[in-house]
Copies of this chain bind each other. A is one copy, B any other.
Amino acid sequence: MDGTGWRPVKRTRTFEDVLAQIERRITEDGLTAGDRLPAERQLAEQLGVSRSSVREALRVLETLGVVSSQVGRGPDAGAVLTSRPDSALTDLLRLHLGLAGLEMREVIDARHMIEQWAAAHAASSGADTSALAAALAGMDGAKSAEEFVEHDTAFHCAIADASGNRFIAAIMRSLRDSMRKYSVEAVRRLGDTSVLRADHVRILEAVERGDAGEAVRAVSEHLAHAYPTLFR
């Protein structure tokens, strides 16, 4: 027998077919966040596969932050389309950091890049800074390193949000989530947070003033203060 051009009968797994079908439905039918998918049993019957395969496909979509499943009955039950890339990105980062596939240095460099970009864009677009001010106030009242980092994270994520780019903001949130423990440790090692507070005020004022260049410089120096060991 000649082996030329032979294709195995089945090259993709069933749940991948289901995945492709659902994705096709999303794009062709113009489904958007909030719309409901058919129930698992219906979907299985429509596609001629078992419920297990449908479930595995839905699990993938849930992992990617595209659907959210609710039990019970009613308009909100079943698989609903969502758009929450945040948790997916967070899981992705956490696991790959755990596998030593990525190093903290790379994460912090990425954060540095994003913060500079976001601060510049927030400044030049005259974004709302009330969320930043609120987070700043929270940091002043913080009684522990954990609490401080919590509000610090809110402050920096608020900058990313203010940039208006949801994708970049999502990456920012995931980065901060992934390095939470690391940040707490850094704050503890630092002891005095007054330097960080002054940095935050400087960033906030630069953004409020619309001074993008100063905002970028302020962010850069702030990170150098927060993680002195990582910057030469």
Contact = CB atoms under 8 A, between A and B. Distances in A.
Contacts of A114: 113
A6 to B, nearest CB: 19
A20 to B, nearest CB: 12
Interface stretch (A94-102, A182-190, A192-200): A94-102
A contacts with B: majority SS: helix
A110 interface: yes
Given A26-B99, A166-B102, A167-B102, A92 B113 contact: no
A162 to B, nearest CB: 14
Nearest to A168: B110
A31 interface: yes
Contact of A101 (B33, B60, B171): B33
Interface stretch (A40-48, A62-70, A142-150): A62-70
A21 interface: no
Interface in A48-96: 52, 55-56, 59-61, 63-66, 81, 83, 85, 88-89, 91-93, 95-96
Nearest to A113: B117
Given A85-B92, A91-B64, A92-B64, A165 B98 contact: no
Contact of A99 (B60, B66, B117): B66
Contact of A106 (B15, B52, B66, B168): B168
A32 interface: yes
Interface string A8-20: 0000000100000
Interface of A: 15, 23, 26-27, 31-33, 52, 55-56, 59-61, 63-66, 81, 83, 85, 88-89, 91-93, 95-96, 98-102, 106-107, 109-110, 113-114, 117, 165-168, 171
Nearest first, the 7 A-B pairs at minimum CB distance are A83-B101, A63-B63, A113-B117, A106-B167, A106-B165, A60-B63, A66-B95
